[in-house]
């Protein structure tokens, strides 16, 4: 989707924080993903490139480096289950299994109805409250497998 | 039960501790005022932090005051000067900074302002990992409150000193916790670590003098200035003074973030604070300070948790984030989980790391799925030795190799047991 005037105005403010405008790129890509359909489409990348006076490939190069950015469409609700050591030791694989069952999606894929996107992610920094998952940016910690259906059900 | 003086988390226990009103009533910004009212010079502040012996809490344990003193002389070098606060907390096992950002952002702001005064900074950037939404929002709200109250921006508290503090959001890459990767990322680029030298104090953000400090390091600063370096040295050990936040996770009854003095025994943390190994089981192994520190066997649990003692025990203090494995845990599985992580997070610049992490993952994966080959254990060791020490631009390669080598050293039998007796030698 195309960059809106409202976002451009927001980026004008954002870039004032830095001596060089380009420093605003990653925060700007976050805002694009939030506002423009949940992923960074080629059109969004091209518009951002124009805004930041970069080549589209430079913006793509940056966006593709960071796991939080999606470069293809994803389901409406993003479910990220931590698979790193502290969560693994306390049953993360059972959380992933429950999430697969509830969403009907495989890891790295969206559900058929497009409602969910499911992924396993690396450490989210909530290790003392393992296992955990993130749903649409919100942390859910100290999980039992039985909690998963209830939490994901709240997105319906 | 362990009883000791605390300071880092005291305010966090108050209701609404993140608001300016509560923080101020609890003494926030008192240390900053003291710096101004007692007419300390920037050099005096650096000296006090040096004298305190504070060591960085982000993993390397480098003396904070010494790092500050590396910033060039402001008269002979008139370039802009910056600090980046490293809140890209992503070392597996580590989740202490999020507590500080979330519960007591004003203390971090105060520390930033004192550091900014000491190093004559033009601006401070707080680089928060993108996933930490609530901690980011709390910090941003605290900055807005502080700005409205005249605490940041122009003429801080009427002192004539001015400094801006800005929030910056990362996007999920572990390597951006490496200080030069962080700076590249903050500039809007891929988080590729830079070769050193030049060091950040000479060539940092946008090529200007820069210091990068961990959240918890800066968080200690107001207490040091308020109560003095001598007070700080009454806590902890001679070479590692102060308290630290120990996040303990894995197989314990009460995982959590606990404030303890450096030098406390790991056993006291596990048994007294974290309630012991869960389910009445016995300890098999533990990581002292995050996943990049070498795993240690159970008989080392009396090790004091300070930089020198953990090093003497054959590992590293790291972030002080203890990860506990009970007697039923598989060290090989943990090795796989971590190998997969480092493979995912390698930025790909150096071949030892890019290829090495992938090999470590593939070999441990096949060992666990019953496809191990004769010679795999030796291959893991050989590969790891090819990745460390100091063979790459940054320490991610070492961080992947060190825990693997430690696991092989202490638990070699577990790896060997994964090789079928009929296994063929690798082709």
- For residue A90, being part of any structural domain is answered with yes
- For residue A147, being part of any structural domain is answered with yes
Co-location of A21 and A60 in the same domain: yes
Co-location of A129 and A85 in the same domain: yes
Co-location of A56 and A99 in the same domain: no
The CATH number of whichever domain residue A102 belongs to comes to 3.40.30.10
- For residue A84, being part of any structural domain is answered with yes
For B92, which of A24, A30, A85 is closest by C-beta distance? A85
Instruction: Give CA angle at B23 (B17, B27), nearest 5°.
Output: 140
Taken as a whole, chain A contains a residue count of: 156
Co-location of A57 and A96 in the same domain: no
| The pLDDT of residue B425 | 64
Co-location of A147 and A83 in the same domain: yes
How many beta carbons lie within 10 A of that of residue B268, not counting itself?
A: 18
d(CA B94, CA A100): 27
- For residue A118, being part of any structural domain is answered with yes
Q: What is the Cα B395 distance to its own chain's centre? A: 14
User: Phi and psi dihedrals of B135, rounded to 5?
Assistant: -55, -40
Co-location of A81 and A54 in the same domain: no
**Domain ends where: A65, A93, A110?**
A65
How many beta carbons lie within 10 A of that of residue A68, not counting itself?
A: 21
What distance in Å separates residue B48's CA from the closest CA in chain A?
Answer: 31
Co-location of A141 and A84 in the same domain: yes
Q: What does the block give as tokens for B138?
A: 């709390």
* Model confidence, pTM: 0.97
> Whose CA is closest to B84, among B151, B183, B7?
B183
DSSP output for B24-58: HHTTTTHHHHHHHHTT--HHHHHHHHHHHT-B-SS
Co-location of A36 and A104 in the same domain: no
**For chain A, how many structural domains are there in total?**
2
**Domain ends where: A27, A43, A65?**
A65
pLDDT by 10s per residue, chain B, length 427: 458 999 999 999 999 999 999 999 999 999 999 999 999 999 999 999 999 999 999 999 999 999 999 999 999 999 999 999 999 999 999 999 999 999 999 999 999 999 999 999 999 999 999 999 999 999 999 999 999 999 999 999 999 999 999 999 999 999 999 999 999 999 999 999 999 999 999 999 999 999 999 999 999 999 999 999 999 999 999 999 999 999 999 999 999 999 999 999 999 999 999 999 999 999 999 999 999 999 999 999 999 999 999 999 999 999 999 999 999 999 999 999 999 999 999 999 999 999 999 999 999 999 999 999 999 999 999 999 999 999 999 999 999 999 999 999 999 999 999 998 876 665 5
- For residue A72, being part of any structural domain is answered with no
A125 neighbourhood in chain B, CB within 8 Å:
89-90, 94-95, 97-98, 129, 131-132
d(CA B413, CA B397): 25
Co-location of A17 and A61 in the same domain: yes
Co-location of A24 and A50 in the same domain: yes
Q: What does the block give as tokens for A54?
A: 């970069």
- For residue A139, being part of any structural domain is answered with yes
Range of the domain at A94: 77-153
B118-133 b/e with 16+ CB inside 10 Å = b? bbebbbbbbbbbbbbe
**Domain ends where: A65, A94, A114?**
A65
User: Phi and psi dihedrals of A90, rounded to 5?
Assistant: -115, 30
- For residue A71, being part of any structural domain is answered with no
H helix or E strand, kind and range, residue B245:
strand B243-250
Q: Does A19 touch chain B (CB under 8 A)?
A: yes
Co-location of A94 and A53 in the same domain: no
- For residue A70, being part of any structural domain is answered with no
What distance in Å separates residue B133's CA from the closest CA in chain A?
Answer: 7
Q: Is ipTM > 0.95 here?
A: yes
Are the Cβ atoms of A85 and B323 closer than 8 angstroms?
Answer: yes
Asked whether A21 and A15 are in contact (CB, 8 A), the reply is yes
Q: How far is CA B93 from CA A80, B108, B249, in A?
A: 18, 22, 6
B174 neighbourhood in chain A, CB within 8 Å:
122-123
d(CA B235, CA B230): 9
DSSP output for A90-121: TTHHHHHHHHHHHH---TTEE-TTSSEEEEEE
Co-location of A18 and A45 in the same domain: yes
Tell me B133's DSSP state. H
Are the Cβ atoms of A89 and B251 closer than 8 angstroms?
Answer: yes
Strands across the sheet with B322-326, in order?
B256-261, B243-250, B322-326, B283-287, B296-297
Are the Cβ atoms of A29 and B171 closer than 8 angstroms?
Answer: yes
The CATH number of whichever domain residue A27 belongs to comes to 1.10.10.1590
């Amino acid at each position: 989707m195309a960059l809106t005037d409202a976002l451009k105005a927001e980026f004008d403010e954002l870039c004032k924080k830095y001596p060089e405008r380009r420093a605003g790129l990653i925060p700007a890509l976050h805002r694009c993903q939030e506002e423009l359909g949940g992923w960074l489409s080629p059109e969004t990348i091209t518009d951002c490139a124009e805004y930041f006076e970069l080549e589209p490939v430079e913006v793509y190069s940056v966006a593709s480096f960071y796991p939080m950015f999606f470069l293809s469409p994803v389901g409406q609700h993003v479910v990220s289950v931590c698979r790193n050591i502290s969560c693994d030791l306390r049953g993360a694989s059972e959380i992933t299994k429950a999430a697969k069952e509830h969403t009907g999606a495989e890891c790295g894929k969206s559900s058929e109805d497009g409602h969910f996107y499911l992924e396993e992610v690396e450490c989210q920094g909530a290790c003392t409250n393992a296992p955990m998952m993130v749903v649409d940016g919100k942390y859910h910690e100290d999980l039992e497998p039985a909690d998963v259906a209830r939490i994901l059900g709240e997105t319906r | 039960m362990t009883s000791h003086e605390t300071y880092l988390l005291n305010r966090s226990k108050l209701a609404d501790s993140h608001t300016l009103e509560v923080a101020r009533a609890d003494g926030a910004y008192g240390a900053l005022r003291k710096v101004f009212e007692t007419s300390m010079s920037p050099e005096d502040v650096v000296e006090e932090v040096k004298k305190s012996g504070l060591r960085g809490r982000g993993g390397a344990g480098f003396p904070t005051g010494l790092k500050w003193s590396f910033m060039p002389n402001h008269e002979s070098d008139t370039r802009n000067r910056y600090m980046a606060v490293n809140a890209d907390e992503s070392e597996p096992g580590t989740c202490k900074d999020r507590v500080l950002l979330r519960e007591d952002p004003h203390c971090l702001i105060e520390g930033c302002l004192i550091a900014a005064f000491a190093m004559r900074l033009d601006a401070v950037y707080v680089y928060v990992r993108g996933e930490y939404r609530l901690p980011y929002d709390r910090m941003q709200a605290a900055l807005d409150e502080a700005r409205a109250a005249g605490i940041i921006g122009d003429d801080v508290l009427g002192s004539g000193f001015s400094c801006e503090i800005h929030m910056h959001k990362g996007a999920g890459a572990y390597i951006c916790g490496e200080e030069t990767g962080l700076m590249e990322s903050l500039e809007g680029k891929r988080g590729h670590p830079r070769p050193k030298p030049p060091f950040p104090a000479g060539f940092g953000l946008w090529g200007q003098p820069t210091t990068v400090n961990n959240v918890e390091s800066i968080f200690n600063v107001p207490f040091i200035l308020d109560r003095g370096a001598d007070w700080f040295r009454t806590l902890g050990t001679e070479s590692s003074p102060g308290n630290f936040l120990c996040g303990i996770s894995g197989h314990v009854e009460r995982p959590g973030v606990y404030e303890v003095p450096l030098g406390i025994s790991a056993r006291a943390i596990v048994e007294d604070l974290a309630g012991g190994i869960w389910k009445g089981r016995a300890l098999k192994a533990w990581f002292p300070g995050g996943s990049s520190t070498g795993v240690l066997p159970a008989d080392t649990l009396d090790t004091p948790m300070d930089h020198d003692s953990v090093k003497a025990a054959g590992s590293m203090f790291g972030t002080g984030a203890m990860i506990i494995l009970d007697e039923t845990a598989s060290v090989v599985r943990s090795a796989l989980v971590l190998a997969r992580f480092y493979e995912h997070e390698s930025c790909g610049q150096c071949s030892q790391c890019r290829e090495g992490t992938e090999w470590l993952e593939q070999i441990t994966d096949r060992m666990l799925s019953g496809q191990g080959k004769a010679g795999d254990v030796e291959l893991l060791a050989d590969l790891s030795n090819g990745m460390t020490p100091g063979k790459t631009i940054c320490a991610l390669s070492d961080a992947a190799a060190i825990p693997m080598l430690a696991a092989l050293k202490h638990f070699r039998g577990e790896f060997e047991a994964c090789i079928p007796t009929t296994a063929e030698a690798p082709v």
